[in-house]
Structure 1
Amino acid sequence: MIGVKRAVNPQLQMAGDGSGKADLTSLETLLRENPDNKFLVTLLSRENQHELCVIGRKFKNLMIFGCWWFMNNPSVIEEITRERIELLGLSVIPQHSDARILDQLVYKWIHSRQIIADVLVEKYQTLLDVGWTLTSSEVERDVNNLFGGNFDRFLNGN
């Protein structure tokens, strides 16, 4: 999880962290020099997301996941989910939980699931509009991959 600026406001203690754009050169180097190691990465800055997707296209040992902290706003989740699917297809983990308390997990998944579903419906509609025949088993496969299969495959090297 890259991009946090610790203790921007120390008076807020654990709630005092902020976000900042990260230099992803070190990530590229880490991925390039360690091709047999696998890295799960999410970023805190909205401004870094496109660059992360491009890096994700270049390195098979990188799995991009979730929308972290300040990225966890419905409008931003939608933007990032669309961008990732457009650049990387369905080879990402669209959301994760970094919740410290159960309430965060509940609200995060309620809006995230709906946003992910809406993005998928739009993308499937685009395929249907150009003549693709879509089956329910393909949709089920894609959803299963997004919500667990991609992670399992990444870890197991398949």
Structure 2
Amino acid sequence: MRKVRRGVEHRGDGLSQDPGMFRTFWEPLNLYPDVLFDFTVLSLADQHQLCVLVKNFPNAVCSGLWWYCNTPSIAEQVVRMRLEILGVRPQNGQNTDAYMLEQGYYKMRQYKRALSRALASMVEDNFFSEEEAVEVARKLLFENPIRHFGLDRSRIEEQITKLGGDLR
């Protein structure tokens, strides 16, 4: 939703414009079953509806936390809700916009902390074992984006290794 605050037209405000807005996606999701639709929403109120949409359409995935949902407490809540409703397959970890590189780095670190807290609580609740939680994190942050977007895995692994990263 835009233009809620007068004089500020070109940014989202995080408020749902229409509770039925997800219905607008039913037709394209049905018409183009071979096209992957990747969704991110601004509002916490829309997160559950997004999960329901993604659960019902095999060509829909959800990614990341944007703007007003990208806070520690909300991020942890949304990460856990998505895992409980969707499982691991139809979602990617963090995606973000950033005005500068440092902002993207900060947002990714914040997402990883929220993911860690959500997974730790799910391990405590016997939803996952510790080993499964590590695998869930790997899928959300690495495996799923490669599969969903047809990325070149070997090239990504090469770049991670060059940067001193560990893929274990």
- Is the contact between residue 2 and residue 9 of structure 2 (CA under 8 Å) also seen in structure 1? no
In structure 2, what is the Cα distance between the partners aligned to 1:64 and 1:102? 23
In structure 2, what is the Cα distance between the partners aligned to 1:121 and 1:100? 31
- Report the counterpart of residue 72 of structure 1 in structure 2: 70
Higher relative contact order (CA 8 A, sep 6+): 1
- Report the counterpart of residue 147 of structure 1 in structure 2: 141
Change (3 A) 1:27 1:113: same
Q: Which runs of 5+ in 2 are unaligned?
A: 151-168
Counterpart pick for 1:29 among 4, 23, 27: 27
What TM-score do you get using the length of structure 1 for normalisation?
A: 0.79
Deviation (angstroms), 1:62: 0.6
Change (3 A) 1:100 1:10: farther
- Report the counterpart of residue 125 of structure 2 in structure 1: 126
| RMSD between aligned residues | 2.3
Deviation (angstroms), 1:115: 1.1
- Report the counterpart of residue 47 of structure 1 in structure 2: 45
Q: How does 1:45-124 map to 2 (within 5 A)?
A: 45-91=43-89, 92-124=91-123
| Cα deviation 1:60-79 (Å, max 9, x = unaligned) | 10110011112111121112
Counterpart pick for 2:7 among 3, 11, 17: 11
| Cα deviation 1:90-145 (Å, max 9, x = unaligned) | 222132121122232233223221110011112123227xxx8x464x44432211
Change (3 A) 1:145 1:25: same
In structure 2, what is the Cα distance between the partners aligned to 1:142 and 1:19? 28
| Cα deviation 1:1-31 (Å, max 9, x = unaligned) | xxxx2343453465x5423314110112221
The number of aligned residues is 146
